[in-house]
Amino acid sequence: MNLPVPVIAIDGPSASGKGTVAQIVAERLGFHYLDSGALYRIVALAAKDRGISWQDEAALASMAPQLHIVFEHGEILLDGRMITEAIRTEDISRGASEVAVHPALRQALVDLQRSFRKTPGLVADGRDMGSVIFVDAGTKVFLTASAEVRAERRYKQLMEKGNHANLASILQDLKLRDERDRQRAVAPLQQCEGAKLLDTDHLTIEQAVQAVLDQYNASIEKK
């Protein structure tokens, strides 16, 4: 009997820590990993490089399928160029949130995201992994934290990398991004049906990872 490839879908707002947790869970299980948010960051960066407006839905949707994107060993390549750090700037983060509201672009990226589902399994993080892309995922998690905690985490990350950062502006930007993500017409940020809420305000990374692994193991035992 052919069973579907298992998927752990981890959704949540920006800077909630879902990417870090998802990567570690994938490593522990030996699963593939998809950072769906990176795809929108890549589109934002590619558009900026090509002089395409983040508001030009048609041009973005036309450009996206032509991009050659490679994820390997924790690095990201776009058309052969290493862009791992380039897509993590605050400017590109804002751009990712802006381009992600366009229905035509989101549709253009659906097949690409689903192509990451390969044996032995996949851990996917984003905004709509459980609600839209992998609706049949056996494990769904909505990982979140307060805006203040998320801003503090993002601030520390930027400072540790030697980047200039302002905590107040980061907090304001996160709140604006949350609102934009929740209000968009297609695949809004939300805790979808069947997703377990995981608030990480007072959890360490290891505790959050273990919570996801426990949920996955419980879902396996039910089968």
In this structure, is residue 221 part of a structural domain? Answer: no
What average pLDDT does the structure give for the chain? 91
- Candidates 85, 65, 73; CA nearest to 162 is 85
What mean pLDDT comes out for the span 7-31?
93
| Reported pTM | 0.83
* pLDDT > 90 in the chain, percent: 65
Q: Which residue has the higher pLDDT, 21 or 164?
A: 21
Residue 1 has pLDDT above 60, yes or no: no
- Candidates 178, 164, 161; CA nearest to 14 is 178
What mean pLDDT comes out for the span 169-173?
92
pLDDT category of residue 22 using cuts at 50, 70 and 90:
very high
- What integer pLDDT is reported at residue 12 of this predicted model? 93
pLDDT in tens, 33-63: 998 989 999 999 999 999 999 999 999 999 9
Residue 114 has pLDDT above 80, yes or no: yes
- What integer pLDDT is reported at residue 43 of this predicted model? 97
- Candidates 87, 107, 104; CA nearest to 96 is 87
pLDDT category of residue 31 using cuts at 50, 70 and 90:
very high
In this structure, is residue 209 part of a structural domain? Answer: no
In this structure, is residue 169 part of a structural domain? Answer: yes
Residue 82 has pLDDT above 70, yes or no: yes
In this structure, is residue 107 part of a structural domain? Answer: yes
Structure tokens at 2: 């052919």
In this structure, is residue 176 part of a structural domain? Answer: yes
CATH number for the domain spanning 95: value is 3.40.50.300
Rounded-to-10 torsion of CA 37, 41, 47, 48 = 160
**Where in the sequence is the domain holding 60, given as residue range(s)?**
7-202
- What integer pLDDT is reported at residue 2 of this predicted model? 62
> Could you give the number of structural domains in the chain?
1
Strands (E), the chain: 7-11, 32-35, 69-72, 75-78, 81-82, 122-126, 139-144, 196-199
Judged by average pLDDT, the poorest of 12-21, 112-121, 158-167 is: 158-167
Are the C-beta atoms of 109 and 126 separated by less than 8 Å? no
In this structure, is residue 218 part of a structural domain? Answer: no
- What integer pLDDT is reported at residue 89 of this predicted model? 87
In this structure, is residue 214 part of a structural domain? Answer: no
Looking at residue 141, its amino acid is V
Residue 3 has pLDDT above 80, yes or no: no
| CB neighbours of residue 85 within 10 Å | 11
- What integer pLDDT is reported at residue 188 of this predicted model? 79
Residue 24 has pLDDT above 70, yes or no: yes
- What integer pLDDT is reported at residue 161 of this predicted model? 81
In this structure, is residue 185 part of a structural domain? Answer: yes
